[in-house]
């Protein structure tokens, strides 16, 4: 069929009626958004001459993605989660907010309610024979003042790139903890070095990426929410330097400021001091939080999370 069969004002009139703009009831914001998205979609169908087969293949794709609970995976893969971060960054810049540690995507694999402890924690349950990782740092105000009692909520994958809860082979809350900073604003934890995550084989997410000639790999990374009363919630990650996918993250989460140096400790005395019998890795990373300001765009995002059983 040829493209551009329908006049633009016919399309916008249809979208307006379908979104109930001529009705007094309903949610005005929802109507505004549905109207715009419908009009844009119909314009795209008409301009690109999207066939009925293509259209229904798309609907079948979404239906299956919903059944498999994959929208949370698709969103970062098609850059939308990173795009929302860029918008929030720019809104904060325009609001004149001081910049602390840069944010990056939350991703779909957070579970709330991880065990909480003061100052330090061990994240791994000892069943994964990965490289031992010690990570530590301070949570500070943008002026450099330590923040006592901040909560560092950390989660990451195991050496297979899998996350507990989503991976039935792991114990509940494995590699997930909340650590309250000590009286110097410090946190520290022992864990294992994560491996990069790959979106599930055979998933709708992977099918879409492959159809676009892309891969579904992320570099190894560690996620954080850092919170403290009167400060803006920070959602971020660190990426593990040296990973093959460091600058080729399918989820667009890597940011240059979030690649700390990974120190490899091989001296016997240091290894012995920590009760280990093999070399280990150490990462030092400080977080800097911005004070909450009335009227600033919210950094606490209402989002559904899977619940621990
Ligand atoms: C996805 C997985 C992650 O571990 C992550 O941090 C971001 C995105 C995903 O499957 O889309
Ligand atoms: Fe992740």
Letter string b/e over residues 141-169, b meaning 16 or more CB atoms within 10 A of that residue's CB: beeeebbeebbbbbbbbbeebbbbbeeee
Residue 155 alpha carbon to ligand 2 centre in Å = 8
Residue 306 alpha carbon to ligand 2 centre in Å = 14
* Structure confidence at residue 222 (pLDDT): 98
The finding on whether 76 has its CB within 6 A of some atom of ligand 1 is: yes
**pLDDT band (50, 70, 90) for residue 305:** confident
Residue 75 alpha carbon to ligand 1 centre in Å = 9
* Ligand closest in space to the Cα of 73: 1
Is the predicted pLDDT of residue 217 greater than 80, yes or no? yes
* Ligand closest in space to the Cα of 156: 2
Q: Rounded distance, CA 76 to CA 107, Å? A: 7
The finding on whether 218 has its CB within 6 A of some atom of ligand 1 is: yes
The finding on whether 251 has its CB within 6 A of some atom of ligand 1 is: yes
The finding on whether 77 has its CB within 6 A of some atom of ligand 1 is: yes
* Structure confidence at residue 295 (pLDDT): 87
Residue whose CA is at the smallest distance from ligand 1 atom 3: 107
List CB contacts of 14: < 8 A, sequence separation 6 or more: 38, 42
Is the backbone of residue 4 left (phi > 0), alpha (psi -120 to 50) or beta? left
* Ligand closest in space to the Cα of 209: 1
The finding on whether 73 has its CB within 6 A of some atom of ligand 1 is: yes
Give the ligand 1 atom nearest the CA of 72: 11
Is the predicted pLDDT of residue 309 greater than 80, yes or no? no
Tens-digit pLDDT profile for residues 84-141: 999 999 999 999 998 899 999 999 999 999 999 999 999 999 999 999 999 999 999 9
Residue 285 alpha carbon to ligand 1 centre in Å = 22
Is the predicted pLDDT of residue 228 greater than 80, yes or no? yes
Residue whose CA is at the smallest distance from ligand 1 atom 2: 107
Give the ligand 1 atom nearest the CA of 199: 10
Tens-digit pLDDT profile for residues 163-216: 999 999 999 999 999 999 999 999 999 999 999 999 999 999 999 999 999 999
| Residues within 5 A (CB) of ion ligand 2 | 107
Residue 79 alpha carbon to ligand 2 centre in Å = 15
The finding on whether 209 has its CB within 6 A of some atom of ligand 1 is: no
> Which residue, among 237, 241, 212, has the nearest Cα to 224 in the 3D structure?
237
CATH class of 79-289: mainly beta
Indicate the domain borders of the chain.
Answer: 8-73, 79-289
What are the Cα distances from residue 57, in Å, to 70, 79, 155, 203?
Answer: 17, 22, 36, 16
**pLDDT band (50, 70, 90) for residue 307:** confident
Q: Rounded distance, CA 24 to CA 26, Å? A: 7
Tens-digit pLDDT profile for residues 39-89: 999 999 999 999 999 999 999 999 999 999 999 999 999 999 999 999 999
Please compute the mean of the pLDDT values over residues 134-160 and round it to a whole number. Answer: 98
Is the predicted pLDDT of residue 306 greater than 90, yes or no? no
Q: Rounded distance, CA 103 to CA 95, Å? A: 16
**pLDDT band (50, 70, 90) for residue 1:** confident
Q: DSSP letter string over 30-74?
A: HHHHHHHHHHHHHHHHHHHT--HHHHHHHHHHHHHHHHTT-HHHH
* Ligand closest in space to the Cα of 108: 1
Residue 298 alpha carbon to ligand 1 centre in Å = 22
């Amino acid at each position: 069929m040829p493209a551009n069969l329908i006049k633009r004002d016919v399309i916008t009139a249809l979208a307006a009626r379908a979104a109930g703009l001529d009705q007094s009831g309903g949610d005005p914001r929802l109507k505004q958004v549905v109207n715009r998205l419908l009009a844009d979609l119909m314009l795209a169908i008409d301009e690109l001459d999207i066939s009925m087969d293509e259209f229904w293949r798309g609907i079948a794709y979404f239906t299956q993605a919903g059944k498999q609970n994959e929208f949370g995976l698709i969103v970062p893969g098609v850059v939308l989660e990173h795009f929302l971060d860029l918008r929030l960054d720019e809104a904060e810049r325009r609001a004149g907010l001081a910049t602390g540690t840069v944010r990056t995507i939350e991703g779909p694999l957070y579970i709330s309610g991880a065990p909480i402890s003061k100052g330090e924690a061990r994240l791994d349950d000892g069943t994964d024979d990965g490289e031992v990782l010690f990570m530590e740092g301070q949570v500070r105000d943008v002026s450099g003042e330590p923040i006592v009692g901040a909560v560092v909520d950390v989660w990451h994958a195991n050496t297979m790139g899998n996350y507990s809860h989503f991976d039935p082979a792991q114990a509940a809350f494995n590699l997930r903890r909340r650590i309250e900073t000590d009286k110097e604003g410090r946190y520290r934890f022992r864990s294992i070095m994560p491996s990069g995550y790959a979106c599930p084989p055979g998933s709708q997410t992977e099918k879409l990426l492959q159809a676009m000639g892309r891969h579904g790999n992320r570099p190894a990374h560690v996620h954080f929410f850092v919170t403290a009363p009167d400060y803006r919630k920070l959602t971020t990650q660190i990426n593990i330097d040296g990973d093959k996918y460091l600058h080729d993250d399918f989820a667009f989460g890597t940011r240059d400021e979030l690649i700390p140096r990974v120190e490899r400790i091989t001296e016997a005395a240091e290894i012995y001091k920590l009760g280990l019998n093999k070399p280990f890795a150490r990462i030092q990373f400080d977080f800097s939080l911005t004070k909450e300001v009335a009227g600033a765009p919210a950094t606490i995002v209402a989002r559904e999370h899977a619940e621990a059983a």
